[in-house]
Chains A and B, each alone.
Chain A
C-alpha cells in the first residue's frame, strides 16, 4: 500500500516536471523566434526592404543591424528571467 502510494507520488512528480519542461520549451521557442526575427530577419534577410523606411537619420534595416537587434537581445533575456521565475514558483521548483 505504502509502496503504491510512493510510486503514485513519483509519477505525479514526474508528470509535473514534464509539464514544467514543456512550458519552458514553449517560452524558449517564442523568445528565440523573436531573436531570429530581429537579427537574421530585420538585420540580414530583409535589410534592404527595411532600408526603404527611415527613422530620423537611420535607415531602418541598418538601425536593426547595428542597434535595434542588440536592444531586443537585452530585453529578451530579462523577459526570460521574469517568465522563468514565475514558472519556478508555479511549479514549486525554486531553489
Chain B
C-alpha cells in the first residue's frame, strides 16, 4: 500500500478512537467538566499530563532544533523536564490539597483579592491562546503534508475533532483521550528511532545507540564522527556549545520555571483524588515525558549525521528521493550558487547552498532511513495526537477561566450549576473557533510568542503560587505588585527586542547578555524581590488566610 492510504487508515483509526472515548466519557457536572470529578488515577493522570504537555513543538520540532543546535539544544531538554521537579516538590501537592478548580482560584483566594484573580485570569487566557494557535497550525501542517489536503481544511478537521471531545466531555473526555493520544504519539516517535538506531549503531536502544560506535566504521564513535563531519564544513563541533554560558543558564531556568507555572499543566493535578496521588502522578508524568525527551537527542544525532553524509558535496541529480519530495513543500531549499551541480552545505552563509527547516528531521526521518510506508503514516498520526492533546488541554483552561473565574467567581456569582456548565461548554466552543481562526490566519509572530508564554508563566504565576504556599506572611499588596512588576518587565523586554527593535536583538544589546528567551528568569527574580519588600511594609494577611496556608501544607484535612 502507498503512503497516502496507510496515512488515511492510521489517522482515521486514531480519530475514531478519540471520538469513541468522547462519547463514553461525557461530563455531567461542572466538577467533571473542570477537573474530571477528581477521580483520575495517578497513572492515567501521569500519562494524560505527558500528552497535555508534549505539543506539536515537542513532537515535530524539538529533535530538529537540537539537531541544528548541538549541545546548546540542551536548554530545551533540561528546561522542559526539570520543571516537573519544581512542580512535584513545590506546587502540585499543595494545590491539590487546596482543592479547587483553577490557578486563578488559588491566587484569588490566597491573596483575598478580586484584582489578583483577574490579573491571573488575564495571564492564563493570554498564555493559553498564544500556545493553542501554534497547535492548530501544527494540525493543519501535518494534514497538508501527509494527506495533501489544504492547510485550512486540515485546521477545520482538527477543530471538529477537538470540539467533539472537549465540549462534550470537558476535562473528563480530554483526560481519557489524552491517554490514548500519548500511546499513539510515543509509539510513532519510538518506532523510527529504534529502526535507525539499529541501522547506524546496531543498538536497539536509541538512548545508548547515539553514544555507541558506527556499524559501518567499527571503532569510530558516532558522536566523534559527527563532530568531525561538522567541523570539516565550518560548523561548531556538535558536542560543543555556541551560546554564552549565562544565556544557557537563564534560558534553561526560564523554561523550567515556566513549565511549572503553565496553567494547563498545573490544572491536571487537580484531577487526582489525593495529595499523595498528586505527588506520584507528577513522577509518572515525567517518566512518560522522559521517554520522548531522552530519545529526541538521539534522533537529532542520527539525523544530522545521515543528512550531512547523504547530501554534502553530492551531485543534485543523484540526491535521494526524499530530498526532492520535501523540496516541493519548501522545507528544503537548494540554490546552486557556484553552478557546479553539487550541494555545498557549509556554515559560511556566502557559500552555503542548502536551507533546511528543522521540522524535517522528524517528519522526513522515516523516509531518510528508508522505513516502510506504514511508519510514515504513523508519524502523521503521532504529530496530530501531540497537537490535538495539547490544544484540548489549553482550550479547557480558557473555557474554565471564562466560565468559572470570570462568570461564577467575579461577575455572576448567583449562576446555577447547570448554567455554569452550559457557559463552560459555550466558552470552550468559542475558544475553539478563535483558535481555529488563528490557525488559519496565523499571526506572523507565533514562533516569537512561545518565548512569551514561558516568560510570562515564569515571571507571574510561579512566584505568586510559590510564595502563597511557602510564606504565610505574603500579602496581597506584595503578591500583586510582584506579579505586575514581573509581567511588565518581562513583556516589555520581549516586546522591545522581538517587535519594536528586532535589529537590536543580539548579545551586545541584551541586559547582562540574557536573550529574550531567558529573560523570564530575571522577571521572576524581580517578582520575588518586589513582593518580599512590599509585604514587609504592609499589613499581614488576615488570620483565616494564614490558617488556610497552614492547612494546605498538610495532606490531612481538619
* Residues A93 and B78 in contact, CB atoms below 8 Å apart: no
Bitwise, B544-558 to A at CB < 8 A (1) or not (0) is: 000000100111110
Residues on the B chain within 8 Å of A92, using CB: 556
Task: Kindly provide the distance from the CB of A18 to the nearest chain B CB, expressed in whole angstroms.
Answer: 9
Residues on the B chain within 8 Å of A59, using CB: 223, 239
Interface flag for B287 (CB, 8 Å): yes
Bitwise, B203-240 to A at CB < 8 A (1) or not (0) is: 00001001111000000011110000000000000010
Question: Pick the contact of B555 from A43, A73, A88 — CB < 8 Å?
Answer: A88
Q: Cα distance A94–B82 when bound, in Å?
A: 27
Q: In the complex, how many residue pairs between chain A and chain B have their CB atoms under 8 Å apart? A: 133
Residues on the B chain within 8 Å of A45, using CB: 245, 249
* Residues B293 and A70 in contact, CB atoms below 8 Å apart: yes
A28, A55, A63, A70: most-surrounded residue (chain B CB, <10 A): A70
Interface flag for B84 (CB, 8 Å): yes
Beyond A57-B212, A80-B88, whether A39 also contacts B78 by CB under 8 A is yes
Residues on the B chain within 8 Å of A47, using CB: 71, 241
Residues on the A chain within 8 Å of B245, using CB: 44-45
Interface flag for B506 (CB, 8 Å): no
Q: Is the interface of A mostly helix, strand, loop or mixed?
A: helix
Beyond A70-B290, A70-B293, whether A43 also contacts B88 by CB under 8 A is no
Task: Kindly provide the distance from the CB of B165 to the nearest chain A CB, expressed in whole angstroms.
Answer: 29
Please give me the residue from chain B that is nearest to A92 by CB atom: B556
* Residues B294 and A71 in contact, CB atoms below 8 Å apart: yes
Stretch of B277-285, B408-416, B433-441, B523-531 on the interface side? B277-285
* Residues B248 and A80 in contact, CB atoms below 8 Å apart: no
Please give me the residue from chain A that is nearest to B224 by CB atom: A57
Residues on the B chain within 8 Å of A43, using CB: 74, 78, 252
* Residues B556 and A95 in contact, CB atoms below 8 Å apart: yes
Bitwise, A30-63 to B at CB < 8 A (1) or not (0) is: 0110010001100111010001000111110011
* Residues A57 and B81 in contact, CB atoms below 8 Å apart: no
Question: Pick the contact of B81 from A44, A58, A73, A85 — CB < 8 Å?
Answer: A73
Q: Is the interface of B mostly helix, strand, loop or mixed?
A: helix
* Residues B89 and A80 in contact, CB atoms below 8 Å apart: yes
Beyond A56-B211, A84-B279, whether A39 also contacts B241 by CB under 8 A is no
* Residues A56 and B71 in contact, CB atoms below 8 Å apart: no
Q: Cα distance A58–B226 when bound, in Å?
A: 12
Residues on the A chain within 8 Å of B402, using CB: none
Residues in B280-339 with C-beta less than 8 Å from chain A:
280, 282-283, 286-287, 290, 293-294, 297
Residues on the A chain within 8 Å of B297, using CB: 66-67
Please give me the residue from chain A that is nearest to B70 by CB atom: A62
* Residues A67 and B283 in contact, CB atoms below 8 Å apart: no
Beyond A39-B252, A67-B207, A71-B294, whether A81 also contacts B283 by CB under 8 A is yes
Q: Cα distance A78–B471 when bound, in Å?
A: 25
Residues on the A chain within 8 Å of B555, using CB: 88, 93-95
Question: Pick the contact of B553 from A21, A44, A55, A76 — CB < 8 Å?
Answer: A21
* Residues B211 and A77 in contact, CB atoms below 8 Å apart: no
* Residues A66 and B77 in contact, CB atoms below 8 Å apart: yes
Question: Pick the contact of A84 from B77, B241, B276 — CB < 8 Å?
Answer: B276
Residues on the A chain within 8 Å of B82, using CB: 35, 39, 69, 73
* Residues B287 and A74 in contact, CB atoms below 8 Å apart: yes
* Residues B290 and A74 in contact, CB atoms below 8 Å apart: yes
Residues on the B chain within 8 Å of A81, using CB: 88, 276, 279-280, 283
Q: Cα distance A65–B252 when bound, in Å?
A: 11
Residues on the B chain within 8 Å of A28, using CB: 89-90
Question: Pick the contact of A32 from B85, B224, B248, B279 — CB < 8 Å?
Answer: B85
Q: Cα distance A67–B297 when bound, in Å?
A: 8
Residues on the A chain within 8 Å of B283, using CB: 74, 77-78, 80-81
Q: Cα distance A71–B82 when bound, in Å?
A: 10
9 smallest A-B Cβ distances: which pairs? A57-B221, A65-B74, A77-B283, A57-B211, A66-B297, A58-B211, A93-B556, A93-B554, A77-B88
What would be 16 A-B contacts, judged by CB atoms less than 8 Å apart? A21-B554, A28-B89, A32-B85, A45-B249, A51-B239, A67-B207, A67-B297, A69-B81, A69-B82, A70-B81, A73-B85, A77-B85, A78-B283, A81-B279, A88-B276, A95-B276
